[in-house]
Structure 1
Amino acid sequence: VAILLLTEITPKSIAVHNPTEVARFVVRPVAWLSVILYPVGRVVTFLSMGMLKIFGLKGKSEPYVTEDELKLMLRGAELSGAIEEEEQDMIENVLEIKDTHVREVMTPLVDVVAIDASSTLVEFHNLWLTHQYSRVPVFEQRVDNIVGIAYAMDLLDYVTKGEVLESTTVGDMAHKPAYFVPDSMLVWNLLREFRIRKVHMAVVLNEYGGTVGLVTLEDVVEEIVGEIFDENDSNEEIQKKTGYIVMRAEGIFDVDANTSIDQLSEDLNIKMPEALSGFVCEAFGYIPRTGESIKVVLEKGNEEEDDENAEAGSDQQDMKERHQIYKLEILAGNARKVSAVRFERINEEALLDDTAVTPMISKIIKRKWSSDEDSNNGNYNEDTFEKRQEEDISDHYVIADYKEDKDSPNEQ
């Protein structure tokens, strides 16, 4: 621990915050040491490469920079003013996109605008006037049975043929078949396939072959540069796409379920284990209704402090410093999904003292409630959606942990 603190964490932190002063101080000693120790380094490298060859392994004699070291250099460059914060974010997004799966960037099927293959071109034109989408999925019988993609540009060929617009169906002009990809596909590989196939849209399938959403080239690009909007996007569409976080009072935030994990984690200084809507449903054990609430324990998001203090103090004290209790209240939703949640920060350290939360596991590790009644049938209108009539679980707790791996973790 002492070696790690004295030779890794502390020197790097000092150098990142004071790059110019540190460089001036160490440049001469490092230059002289590199000259003096060069022969020793060559001998050690030769011996190590020889050992690798004996065991049939291949080694790299050239110096290399790890991803963590590159991110550290980017952080230092941003602090020194060499690059802007947006530039740092874009470079880090490029590094992280190789571990991002299609399921994380796709548009869910419930939010997809599609058209029946039997619809006429007049109906397709009316749909285009409403949504202004250049590409629209075409389905047969069911919306999850997508057979092709209709291009709004193709409508131009029929503009001067009024009678043809009434008699021609969308299925006749659709580009078939659609391009299908698994939801486990890496975004980096998808970008390569888009370039090779010269397409901008793909239908996303789950492991059972069912349609779960759509992914476009714009979705992939937005993972690098952030959300992209055009002049046709209304304020409602922008809010639906990006979500929102509104601070109602100190420690109280209203959060839209469409808010990205990164934005939520940054604004509330927490580490969300998964998308908000899915996390809330996992915490309750069912799809909660408007007005229901529950308390959860979330890990704080200050990674730098975690690295410096990870080994300091007792495990219980460290757990107190790195975790925060929140009360989650459902503000809007229906029988299908949660639309908005209120986060209220609660300072109840006694819960952290009395509850064994170490070692933490991913997602939900403890539930302290039981539900004896099934949800009553209700309509899907958010305005008339009533609170569930059953045992109040607002004083019960759920403990959650953040997991760096972007794959869905398994529960223990």
Structure 2
Amino acid sequence: MDIWLASLIVILCLLMSAFFSAGETAFTGTSKARMIGLAEKGDRRAKRVLRILEARERFLGTMLIGNSIVNIGVSSLATSILIILLGKHYGVIAATVIISILVIIFAEILPKTLAIKSPDGASLRMARWVVYAMRILGPLTQVAGWIVKIILRILGEKVRHSEPLLTPSEEIKGQVALLHRQGDVIKDERDMLGGLLDLKELFVSDVMVHRTKMESIDADLPAIEIVRQVIASSHTRLPLWRETQENIVGVLHSKDLLRALSAVDGDASRLKIDEIALETWFVPESTSLQDQLQAFLSKKTHFALVVDEYGEVMGLVTLEDILEEIVGDIADEHDLTVEGVRPRKDGAVIVDGTVPIRDLNRAMDWRLPDEEATTIAGLVIHEARQIPNTGQIFNFYGYRFQVVRKSRNRLTALLITPLDKLKTKMPG
């Protein structure tokens, strides 16, 4: 073969190797979400990129096989040329050194560096040529895949389709968390996006007002007394019970009560509370927040009572409770302020045992797990595998938990200190 023709083929192979290296890097780092957005606007190149990403295994096989073929071609032809020019001994040594430098710099590092700087733009520009390469090398890629699967079966390895390690929601959360650390997303925006994605993973039992804290009214009280209790309450909807507080017979809305009171010229004795009360809506405690939000919207109501598998009332949930999972605490001029989280100057925090873990995480920007327990007291009991006594200290998840107050079997207050805060106080 003519030396000049062989040299031209070597240069062509180096360019093709650079193409395969850049393509692999660009399509691996490209944003699928952005490509979907461009495709919906009619960008044909973005549609090609999406088709390539959907055939990920075939794409990667094409890039690897193509790169290997051209690199082998470069090595073989360059070695032949240099042997002719320098002789067998020096030609092999020179070929090894020169081709290694050329391949590493011009076929690997340089194209991958350029591609990773703008993976979306590189993918759009290369999409057409990558499709051609996949068509040409597709059969070879399939054959190589079959051979690999046969070898794996012989070795006793089970061949499974690849499964994503993260759910789409977790991938989005991870991306948002990364953007937050980089300063592109503020904490409130991160919390709102995270809360929205968590709705289908949380249940009404996680956010409900427990029955021990639920404000309700005895339906058998005189009407004038019921009016007084409704006016004194900070809530607009109050459950009515009869005989026992677990026997809820209806829900009294303050606006309905005021309308009825106006209709009887303010004479509370003429009110018939049972006729004013709304029908009670019971929902299972296992209902996801996403389903409950949709149910609230479809029924055009904001209030439901939560029951367990035996039909016993466990508490109540409102539309506001669900919205607060997304936007944080919603307070108005009638809300009663409850000091459940009290930060101290030394970095420690005094927390009421009934404070939900999710609320504490949102307030302090912590990451305590809430899979096994809903409240902070529940988390300590779960991790300690006992009901601790006052003064006991436990370390887990990067925090020190000290029981400050206890009432019977309930942990009413805990002192929580991040362990890194403790280390900074230690001398030496």
Q: Same fold (TM over 0.5)?
A: yes
Distance 2:179 2:386 in 1: 46
The 3 A distance-change label for structure 1 pair 40 and 170 is farther
Distance 2:126 2:115 in 1: 16
Look up the match of 2:352: 256
Look up the match of 2:190: 88
1:239 is the counterpart of 2:338: yes
1:159 is the counterpart of 2:232: no
CA deviation map 1:47-97 (0-9, x unaligned)? 8xxx9xxxxxxx9xxxxx933333344345556666543233222211111
CA deviation map 1:222-252 (0-9, x unaligned)? 111111111112xxx2225xx21322535x4
The 3 A distance-change label for structure 1 pair 96 and 39 is farther
Residue among 404, 410, 415 paired with 1:330 = 404
Larger Rg: 1 or 2? 2
Distance 1:134 1:22 in 2: 59
1:37 is the counterpart of 2:140: no
Distance 1:211 1:67 in 2: 32
Distance 1:284 1:77 in 2: 35
Aligned AA for 2:341? Y
The 3 A distance-change label for structure 1 pair 41 and 83 is farther
The 3 A distance-change label for structure 1 pair 189 and 155 is same
The 3 A distance-change label for structure 1 pair 279 and 75 is closer
Distance 1:296 1:268 in 2: 21
Distance 1:225 1:268 in 2: 14
Distance 1:114 1:189 in 2: 26
Aligned AA for 1:119? L
1:294 is the counterpart of 2:392: yes
1:277 is the counterpart of 2:377: yes
Aligned AA for 2:350? D
Distance 2:330 2:356 in 1: 14
Could you tell me how far 1:162 is from its partner in structure 2?
A: 5.7
Residue among 218, 230, 242 paired with 1:128 = 230
Determine helix, strand or coil for the equivalent of 1:98.
coil
Look up the match of 2:416: 343
Look up the match of 1:378: none
CA deviation map 1:103-128 (0-9, x unaligned)? 00100001111001112332222112
Distance 2:171 2:281 in 1: 38
Could you tell me how far 1:159 is from its partner in structure 2?
A: 3.2
Distance 2:138 2:278 in 1: 61
Conserved? CA contact 1:255–1:342, under 8 Å? yes
Q: Which runs of 5+ in 2 are unaligned?
A: 1-24, 31-113, 147-160, 162-166, 421-428
Greater RCO structure (CA 8 Å; 6+ sep): 1
Look up the match of 1:170: 273
Conserved? CA contact 1:120–1:170, under 8 Å? no
State how many pairs are aligned.
282
Determine helix, strand or coil for the equivalent of 2:286.
coil
The 3 A distance-change label for structure 1 pair 137 and 77 is same
Determine helix, strand or coil for the equivalent of 2:413.
strand
Aligned AA for 2:380? V
Aligned AA for 2:223? L
Distance 1:244 1:33 in 2: 55
- Select the structure that is richer in strand: 1
Look up the match of 1:144: 246
CA deviation map 1:113-160 (0-9, x unaligned)? 100111233222211222232110011111111121011112222136
Determine helix, strand or coil for the equivalent of 1:224.
helix
Could you tell me how far 1:254 is from its partner in structure 2?
A: 1.4
Please tell me the root mean square deviation across aligned C-alpha atoms, in Å: 3.7
